[in-house]
């Protein structure tokens, strides 16, 4: 009898039943004199005792502004210490922090502020070409719930802190005493492929435990220093980063307001970081710096790579040249807080590049037939589903869309096609909607992409299906060349594949690009690639 594709994580270490504020207080009590947060660009740094006081000042200021339990407080800012402080201050007063992508423009900002009913917005003043003040003013009249706006670094921020000086600390204690770890604390807008994004609503219990167990799997202690070039507005930064750090008494290091490979390596070297996060393209950018070899990265031991699959050669260089022998691959989605599976510190290169690891504690995963919902056998592809403490409370104010994603037994349907092996390791083979059906054959783009990574001219590749009169769908390879001035023909690509891939898996179309359209979390937007390819005049293979 075939073993079903189902695994349940260990329950030997109990879940944390505290709020985020209570957990931070516990860390401050234990590690008050240790570094909590370092902002390399400004040179500012906080011990846990200092960080705890700064968070309290902002929490009191928010109370002075009339922020009630359950009110939504938006944060629309690049990575900075104030972002982190607002994260913990809103948690302490029972507000729900709404993460807003700093790349959003006016129409996206308007949608999020209205959909979430944001009462107070904390925003950057400006960054590069973005004038946040101007954009906020353009939407204020359309957002009746928005009572107040505070801009980081200007008098309104100082005013927020000053307002809290008149609030008795007993009021904060009273507010905290009325909170539950199951209260909503965060709304994150997932990258919509069609229409507007959905607001995944997450509780203290969801994200505190997920951050804690990700940190446990990485072996974090108070001695770790974690470099975070990934955005705070996404789970990668604020859960896998900030909450993993504070739940272990470690230190978070901000290298720059937005990703910069030089600033990242400078921060690792200067602050003697032990852990570094990024999506594969970030690590590639760091490795390709002309002066990469001059940085002393010997303090590194671990980190997280997530968002998209890592090419084997890149993984080898990260583990060897960047000294990250224990680097971990994480898989998940915003709706699951986010991580469901993770590779372990002693996994080999094959498992770190070919799988997304095993299930984390207190979580269940299974692979089901998308048509019947029945659990498939080990080694068979199907939809990956996950269940446990990490599954979101729901999409904010959208019960119908919640019911489409989370079934009656609280299984989150990820939409990802996966295969589970006999040891419980999960391999993602694509998205259900990305699966190509060519002449009745199911084709999984991930398999072809992995093979094409071995082509000497190809730096990165995404495989998509495009309409075809004869076969229904035909295969297109979208590639980024190692040499921007180089050339690659579809015939050359087909010759490379013949005899090494089944004939129906060989790409018949080729499109050479400078970059791929990406989501905020570092995933390639294949829907945009398909839109670009349709009617693009792509050249068919001979």
What is the C-alpha separation between 48 and 34, in angstroms, rounded? Answer: 6
The answer for residues whose C-beta is within 8 angstroms of residue 240's C-beta and 6 or more apart is 210, 211, 214, 277, 304, 306, 330, 338, 339
pTM for this structure?
A: 0.87
Closest CA to 323 of 363, 356, 289, 293: 293
Helices then strands, each counted (H, E), the chain: 18, 29
Q: Describe the crossing of helices 169-177 and 48-64 by its angle, rounded to 10 degrees.
A: 90
CB 478 within 8 A of CB 526: no
pLDDT for res 540: 40
Extract the tokens encoding 422. 């006999």
Q: Describe the crossing of helices 312-320 and 280-287 by its angle, rounded to 10 degrees.
A: 60
What is the C-alpha separation between 88 and 207, in angstroms, rounded? Answer: 12
The secondary element (H helix, E strand) that includes residue 530 is helix 526-533
Look at the chain and count its residues.
542
* Residue 366 backbone phi and psi in degrees, to 5: -150, 160
Q: Would you say the C-alpha torsion 47, 48, 53, 58 has a positive or negative sign?
A: positive
**How is the beta sheet containing 6-8 ordered, strand by strand?**
6-8, 363-368, 382-388, 412-420, 426-431
CB 113 within 8 A of CB 125: no
CA atoms within 13 A on the CB side of 161: 14
CB 417 within 8 A of CB 432: yes
SS3 category, 127: strand
Extract the tokens encoding 146. 């928005």
* Residue 340 backbone phi and psi in degrees, to 5: -110, -40
The answer for residues whose C-beta is within 8 angstroms of residue 267's C-beta and 6 or more apart is 40, 227, 229, 253, 254, 255, 256, 273
pLDDT for res 183: 98
Tell me the CA distances in angstroms from 466 to 279, 455, 475, 493, 539, one per residue in order.
27, 22, 6, 17, 12
The secondary element (H helix, E strand) that includes residue 510 is strand 509-512
Closest CA to 413 of 485, 336, 358, 483: 336
Closest CA to 101 of 83, 85, 81, 88: 83
Domains assigned to the chain: 18-27+48-180 (3.40.50.980), 435-540 (3.30.300.30)
Closest CA to 298 of 270, 269, 318: 269
CB 350 within 8 A of CB 310: no
SS3 category, 23: helix
What is the C-alpha separation between 195 and 84, in angstroms, rounded? Answer: 30
The answer for residues whose C-beta is within 8 angstroms of residue 452's C-beta and 6 or more apart is 458, 461, 463, 477, 479, 493, 497, 507
- Per DSSP, 242 falls in state I
pLDDT for res 521: 65
SS3 category, 323: coil
Q: Which residue(s) pair with 312 in the sheet? A: none
What is the C-alpha separation between 91 and 83, in angstroms, rounded? Answer: 13
Rounded average pLDDT per 10-residue block, the chain, 542 residues:
94 98 98 98 98 98 98 98 99 98 90 97 93 97 97 97 97 98 96 70 98 98 98 96 98 98 98 96 94 98 90 93 98 96 96 96 97 96 97 97 96 96 94 83 84 94 90 93 94 94 91 89 83 61 36
CB 123 within 8 A of CB 98: no
């Amino acid at each position: 009898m075939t073993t079903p594709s189902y695994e349940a994580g260990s329950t030997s270490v109990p879940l944390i039943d505290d709020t985020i504020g209570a957990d931070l207080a516990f860390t401050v009590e234990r590690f008050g004199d240790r570094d909590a947060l370092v902002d390399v660009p400004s040179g500012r740094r906080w011990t846990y005792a200092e960080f705890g006081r700064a968070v309290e000042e902002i929490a009191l200021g928010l109370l002075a502004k009339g922020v009630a339990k359950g009110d939504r407080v938006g944060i629309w800012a690049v990575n900075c210490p104030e972002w982190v402080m607002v994260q913990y201050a809103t948690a302490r007063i029972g507000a729900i922090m709404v993460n807003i992508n700093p790349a959003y423009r006016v129409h996206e900002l308007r949608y999020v502020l209205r959909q979430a009913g944001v009462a107070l917005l904390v925003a950057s003043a400006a960054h590069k070409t973005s004038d946040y003040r101007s954009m906020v003013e353009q939407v204020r009249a359309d957002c009746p719930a928005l009572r107040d706006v505070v801009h980081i670094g200007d008098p309104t921020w100082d005013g927020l802190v000053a307002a809290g000086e008149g609030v008795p600390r007993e009021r904060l204690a009273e507010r905290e005493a009325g909170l539950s770890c199951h209260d909503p604390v965060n709304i994150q807008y997932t990258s919509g492929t069609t229409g507007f994004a959905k607001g995944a609503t997450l509780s203290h219990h969801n994200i505190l435990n997920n951050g804690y167990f990700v940190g446990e799997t990485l072996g974090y202690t108070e001695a770790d220093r974690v470099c975070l070039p990934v955005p705070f507005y996404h789970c990668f930064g604020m859960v896998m980063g900030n909450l993993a750090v504070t739940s272990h008494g470690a230190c978070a290091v901000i290298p720059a307001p937005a990703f910069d490979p030089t600033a990242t390596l400078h921060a690792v070297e200067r602050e003697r970081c032990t852990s570094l996060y990024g999506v594969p393209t970030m690590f590639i950018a760091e490795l390709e710096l002309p002066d990469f070899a001059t940085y002393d990265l010997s303090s590194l031991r671990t980190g997280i790579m997530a968002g998209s699959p890592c090419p084997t050669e890149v993984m080898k260089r990260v583990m060897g040249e960047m000294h990250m022998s224990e680097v971990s691959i994480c898989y998940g989605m915003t709706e699951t807080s986010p991580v469901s599976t993770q590779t372990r510190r002693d996994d080999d290169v094959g498992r770190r590049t070919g799988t997304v690891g095993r299930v984390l504690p207190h979580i269940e995963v299974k692979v089901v037939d998308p048509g019947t919902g029945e659990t498939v056998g080990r080694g068979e592809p199907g939809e990956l589903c996950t269940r446990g403490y990490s599954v979101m409370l729901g999409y904010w104010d959208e019960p119908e869309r919640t019911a489409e994603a989370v079934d009656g037994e609280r299984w989150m349907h990820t939409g990802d096609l996966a295969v589970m092996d006999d040891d419980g390791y999960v391999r993602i083979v694509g998205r259900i909607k990305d699966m190509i059906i060519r002449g009745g054959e199911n084709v999984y783009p991930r398999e072809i992409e992995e093979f094409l990574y071995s082509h000497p001219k190809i730096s990165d590749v995404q495989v998509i299906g495009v309409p075809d009169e004869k076969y229904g769908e035909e295969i297109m390879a979208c590639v980024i060349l190692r040499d921007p001035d180089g050339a690659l023909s579809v015939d050359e690509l087909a010759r490379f594949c013949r005899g090494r891939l089944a004939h129906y898996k060989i790409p018949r179309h080729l499109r050479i690009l400078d970059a791929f359209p990406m989501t905020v979390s570092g995933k390639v937007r294949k829907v945009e690639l398909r839109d670009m390819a349709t009617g693009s005049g792509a050249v068919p293979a001979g």
